[in-house]
Structure 1
């Protein structure tokens, strides 16, 4: 599933499994007032985002200079994550990490270096496990198609602040950079923040980086 993010209109759907139709809809919707980006699942009907089927769609998104916000729709885990709401608590951040890994290891970011992709849940498990992906890049031939080591691609993503952990956000700030963080709230879901700004203020940021996260970084992404 993918939608066009708009300030004023309802979100038109991109038929991702029919790339020609998806491109036609991209071209149409990109001309609408207020359209600012693309909302896309971390997988599309259980196809990962480096599936060759989606290659022409990503190429057109890059040409149109539209940022992409990813979010899980169908998560990994199946019945093993059926109890305790683990389909959300673990499934969402794991699926985010899988999507990011496919975009990196599948070469999507090498082929489309101007793609602007925002990962939810502060990147999920991806930033914390990046050392393991780098180690695999050294010893496993499956991962050596990349132009750079996997961790270098973390700077190709932006990350929302829905981590529920101050130390995790501090990790992102220290290792990826304040300019890559955008405010997230997960409104109106039960796993969202009651007050996203109050959570951010626990980090005791100075005024300029706080304002970057509150809106400056997002304004650049959305060109508003």
Structure 2
């Protein structure tokens, strides 16, 4: 256990770590076998058989890290991580399910995360889920996660689409139907963790593990661009959005977007050049490259980057704090990434009480 007191802002905080919820998968598979089967078939198309087989072996090998608390705490100690902000595996988004089941999924996921956190509240805190595919239900699920379960916010994907249901529209993060959700998240001070799962490029990425290595950073860039260009961040200046995987391709490749904002009228839906909004967003440190981490900190600012590991998946980092320290950041900037930015955002162990507004 860490020797730091729970209120110490120098506690190292990992904001990107996952748990697996087998009971949730069983619920969805039994309640909507057709949709579950269609989603499984889509994953075959997107990933290809070689990557699916490798991922299956990886999950089997890392099952204890995904489900066993004692193993997780031991790994945190060995990594020098004092606190983890845990969120459900993105495979639990289940954006294909209908209205009634979607709320059941969100509520069960939120409660399961709460129960997991309660087993080690001095080391953990958590994020819940909302049904992005049903924007009208997102506020209800958000309030359940934050006000009823006491979680710090929710995790969402980069978009929601149901390829097996052509009558249901794709939901992008710029969708006007999400305005009540953004407003309520802002009011609650809730963290919205953007974590892609899946990519609409489908079979174009079905080999060489491109369905992860290319699609994840591409999806982050697309989703964040929807937020920026649509003016969501102008209308909700206090919204707290944290992007996984360092924000993907977006933070260090905004020159073209800034140019489009200047010369194209349809790209002028935000009040400032797109690069201006990097200071309004937060990013985890998981970029797998010291040079890219330095570039991310330089582009967004050292106050906008937080430690992230993607524990315990193989595309994560087994030594996230050590990698930040090895990136040749200044001591002050490294301290911000490792701990102080999380403290400033209110990301604390669950044992530290933080009241949320209810109005």
Q: Does 1:197 align with 2:313?
A: no
Q: Contact conserved, 2:128 with 2:153, CA < 8 A, in 1?
A: no
TM (normalized to structure 2)? 0.58
The partner residue of 1:110 within 210, 234, 239 is 234
Q: Which runs of 5+ in 1 are unaligned?
A: none
Contact 1:183 1:213 in 2 (8 A): yes
Structure 2 Cα separation of the partners of residues 181 and 91 of structure 1: 21
Tell me how far 1:44 sits from its aligned partner: 2.1
Structure 2 residue 290 is the aligned partner of structure 1 residue 166: yes
TM-score by length of 1: 0.91
Deviation at 1:92, TM superposition (A): 0.2
SS in 2 for 1:30: helix
- 32, 37, 40: which one aligns with 2:148: 32
Residues 186 and 29 of structure 1: CA distance in aligned 2, closer, same or farther (over 3 Å): closer
Aligned length: 224
Residue 195 to residue 157, structure 1, CA distance change in 2 (3 Å): same
Q: Which structure 2 residue ranges, 5 or more long, are not aligned?
A: 1-92, 94-105, 119-124, 162-169, 349-359
Question: Superposition RMSD on alpha carbons, in Å?
Answer: 2.1
* Contact persistence 2:132–2:159 (CA under 8 A): no
Question: Which whole-Å CA distance do the structure 1 matches of 2:196 and 2:128 have between them?
Answer: 18
Determine helix, strand or coil for the equivalent of 2:324.
Answer: helix
Q: For 1:209 and 1:10, locate their aligned partners in 2 and report how far apart those are by CA, in whole Å.
A: 25
Which structure has the larger Rg?
2
Does the 8 Å contact 1:76/1:94 carry over to 2?
Answer: no
Matches within 5 A, 1:3-82: 7-8=117-118, 12-32=128-148, 34-45=150-161, 46-82=170-206
* Partner deviation per Cα, 1:69-124 (whole Å, 9 max, x = no partner): 10001223211111100010000000000000000011111111111111111111
Aligned-partner Cα distance in 2 for 1:197–1:71: 20
Shift of 1:27: 2.3
Checking the alignment, whether the CA contact within 8 Å between 1:16 and 1:44 is kept in structure 2 is: yes
Q: Secondary structure at the match of 1:68?
A: strand
Contact 1:39 1:69 in 2 (8 A): yes
Equivalent position SS for 1:63: helix
Answering whether residue 340 of structure 2 is matched by residue 216 of structure 1, we say yes
1-structure distance, mates of 2:126, 2:296 = 33
- Provide the rounded CA distance (Å) in 1 between the counterparts of 2:131 and 2:193: 16
Out of 119, 128, 131, the residue aligned to residue 252 of structure 2 is: 128
Secondary structure at the aligned position of 1:35 is classed as: coil
Residue from 223, 243, 246 that aligns with 1:99? 223
CA distance in 2, matches of 1:27, 1:122: 27
Greater Cα shift, 89-98 or 162-171: 162-171
SS at match of 1:31: helix
CA deviation map 1:136-165 (0-9, x unaligned): 111111111221111111111111111011
